Amino acid sequence: MVLLRFQSTCCGPGARRYPRAVPSRDALIDLLAGLAYAELSAFDRLTEDARLAPTLAGRVEMSAMAAIEMAHHQQLAARLQSMGVAPDVAMEPFVAALDTYHSLTAPSTWLESVVKAYVGDGMAADFYREVAAFVDEPTRELIHTVLADSGRAEFAVREVQAAVAAQPGVADRLALWARRLVGEAISQTQHVLADRDALMMLMIEGTGGLAGVGELINRVTSRHEERMKALGLDS
Amino acid sequence: MVLLRFQSTCCGPGARRYPRAVPSRDALIDLLAGLAYAELSAFDRLTEDARLAPTLAGRVEMSAMAAIEMAHHQQLAARLQSMGVAPDVAMEPFVAALDTYHSLTAPSTWLESVVKAYVGDGMAADFYREVAAFVDEPTRELIHTVLADSGRAEFAVREVQAAVAAQPGVADRLALWARRLVGEAISQTQHVLADRDALMMLMIEGTGGLAGVGELINRVTSRHEERMKALGLDS
C-alpha cells in the first residue's frame, strides 16, 4: 500500500484533518528527475521547433530559450547526484510519457511552436511549482529557479499578437491548438502519476486530500486561462 | 578588385615580400558572423544528433555540448552587436554553406555523430583559429575562447575506442565517414571563400600569399590526422 511509504509528522489531537506528511525520498527523487527530463526534452524540442522560425533572429531567440532549459536540466541532475542518485536512471520512468506528449504535440508551424513554448510549458511549470510547495525549502527553491519564465511570455505575446493582427483567422486555430496541448499534457500527467505512487501520494498528502487536488487543478487551470488571455486567444 | 579593400600597413624597402595588412572591417565581421552561424548550427545539429545516443547519459552529454555552442554563439553575436552590426543580417551569407554541409553529413548512427562532433568540428575550429591569427588581439581571444574543446576529445575517444574494441569492423566505416566529413567541409569552405572577398583576402594577406595558404592547409591537415590517430582510425 503506497501510503506506507510516507511517515506522518503529526498525529496528535490537534492534527489537521489531512495530516501533512514528510515527502518520501522516492517522491523527492521523482519530482527532481521528472522535471530534469522535462527540461532535457524541452531543450530538445525547442531546438527542433526553432527551425520553424520565419527569421534567423526568431530562431536564435528560441534556441537561446532551449539552451536555458539545458542549464536547468544540469542543475537538477547535479542535485540528484548530490543525493547519490544517477540522473539517467532516475529520469528513465519519465521518458515515455514526456516523449509521447511531445510526439503528439509536434508543432507544424512557427506560431504553434511559440504557443506550445508558452502555454504548454507554462502549464507544466505551474503544476511542478504546485507540487514543489510540499517539499523542503532548498528543493522548492531549486524548482522555482529552474522554472523561471526567462522572458518567454513577452516573446510569445509579441509573436502571436503580431500574427493575429495580420491574419485574424489565426486566433481560432491557435486556440484549438492550445486546447490540444492542454488535453495531451493532462493525459500524460495522469499516466505518470498512475505509475509513480510516491509522486501521487506527495500530491494527495500535500494538498490535504482529493478535494485539495481539485483546488490545485483549479489554480493551474486559472493560470492557464490568464496566459491564453495574454495571447488574445479563447481558452 | 578585392585587394583595394585592404590598407597595406607597410610598403617601404624593408617590407616583407607579402606585406601584412590590417584586416578590413568587412573581414572581421565575416569572420565573427561565419563563426557565430557555425556555432548556432552546431548547436542545432548536436541536439538533433544527441537523439541517436544509445543511452540517456550519452544524450545528456551531447546535449550539454550543444548548449555550450549556444553560449558561444551568444558571445559572438554580442561582439557583432557592439560593433553596430545586426548578427542575423551578418550571419545570412553563411547559412547556405553551413546548412549544406550539415545536410550532406547528417549522421545515421551515434558513432557517426560522435566522429562528426570531434573530427568535423575540430577541423573547422582549427581553420577558424588559423584565420584568427591575422586579426586584433581581443577578437583573436574571443575566437579562441569560443573554440575551446570542452572535453569533446575525451568523449569521442572513449565512445569510438569502446565501439571499435567491441566490433573492429566499425573502424573502417568510421574512417570512411571521417574522409567524407573532411571532403564536404573543404568543399563548403571553398564556396564561402569564393563569395566572401574580404575573408579570402584576410587569409591570403595574413598567410603572406598563396604559399602561406598552402602551409595553413598543411597545418590544419596535420592536426586532423592527430585526431584520427587519437580515435584509432586511419586518416
Q: A213 to chain B, minimum CA–CA distance in Å?
A: 32
**Does the distance separating the beta carbons of A71 and B63 come in below 8 Å?**
no
| Nearest-angstrom CA–CA distance, B123 and A122 | 41
Q: A133 to chain B, minimum CA–CA distance in Å?
A: 28
Predicted pLDDT at A191: 87
Predicted pLDDT at B42: 94
**Does the distance separating the beta carbons of B74 and A64 come in below 8 Å?**
yes
Classify burial at B103, counting beta carbons within 10 Å of its beta carbon; exposed 0-12, middle 13-18, buried 19 or more: exposed
Residue B149, all three cell numbers: 574543446
Q: B210 to chain A, minimum CA–CA distance in Å?
A: 35
Predicted pLDDT at B18: 45
**Does the distance separating the beta carbons of B43 and A88 come in below 8 Å?**
no
Predicted pLDDT at B13: 43
Chain B residue with Cα closest to A66: B67
**Does the distance separating the beta carbons of A66 and B47 come in below 8 Å?**
yes
**Does the distance separating the beta carbons of A60 and B51 come in below 8 Å?**
no
A100 CB-side CA count, 13 A: 15
Predicted pLDDT at A41: 95
Tell me which CATH code domain A23-231 carries: 1.20.1260.10
**Does the distance separating the beta carbons of B60 and A88 come in below 8 Å?**
yes
| Nearest-angstrom CA–CA distance, A3 and A60 | 47
Predicted pLDDT at A234: 84
**Does the distance separating the beta carbons of B56 and A91 come in below 8 Å?**
yes
Q: What is the largest CA-CA distance in chain B?
A: 64
Cβ-based contacts of B87 with chain A (< 8 Å): 57, 60
Mutate to test the interface with A, among B37, B39, B41, B44 (most CBs of A within 10 A): B44
Predicted pLDDT at A20: 55
Q: Give me the count of residues in chain A.
A: 235
Classify the C-alpha dihedral B224-B225-B227-B228 as positive or negative. positive
DSSP A120: I
Q: Could you say which of A63, A64, A91 has the minimum Cβ distance to residue B44? A: A63
Predicted pLDDT at B148: 86
| Nearest-angstrom CA–CA distance, B78 and B85 | 9
Q: Could you say which of B57, B71, B77 has the minimum Cβ distance to residue A67? A: B71
User: Chain A residues within 8 A (CB-CB) of chain B?
Assistant: 40, 43-44, 47-48, 50-51, 55-57, 59-60, 63-64, 66-67, 70-71, 73-74, 77, 87-88, 91-92, 95
- Homologous superfamily in CATH for domain B24-231: Ferritin, core subunit, four-helix bundle (1.20.1260.10)
Q: Give me the count of residues in chain B.
A: 235
| Residue matched to cell numbers 549522421 | B107
Cβ-based contacts of A56 with chain B (< 8 Å): 88, 91-92, 95
Other CB atoms closer than 10 Å to residue A77's CB: what's the count? 25
Cβ-based contacts of B88 with chain A (< 8 Å): 55-57, 60
**Does the distance separating the beta carbons of B95 and A60 come in below 8 Å?**
no
Taking 70 as the pLDDT cut, the residues of chain B under it are: 1-21
Mean pLDDT estimate for chain A: 88
Predicted pLDDT at B1: 31
Predicted pLDDT at B3: 34
Q: Looking at chain B, list the stretches that DSSP marks H as alpha helix, in order from N- to C-terminal side.
A: 25-50, 56-82, 87-104, 110-115, 121-132, 137-146, 152-166, 170-195, 197-207, 210-231
| Nearest-angstrom CA–CA distance, B210 and B193 | 14
Render each residue's pLDDT in chain A as its tens digit; 235 residues.
333 333 334 344 443 444 456 788 999 999 999 999 999 999 999 999 999 999 999 999 999 999 999 999 999 999 999 999 999 999 999 999 999 999 999 999 999 999 999 999 999 999 999 999 999 999 999 999 999 877 888 999 999 999 999 998 999 999 999 999 999 998 898 888 888 989 988 988 898 888 888 898 899 999 999 999 999 998 7
**All structural domains of chain A with their residue ranges:** 23-231
pLDDT tens profile B202-224 = 988 898 888 888 898 899 999 99
Predicted pLDDT at B21: 62
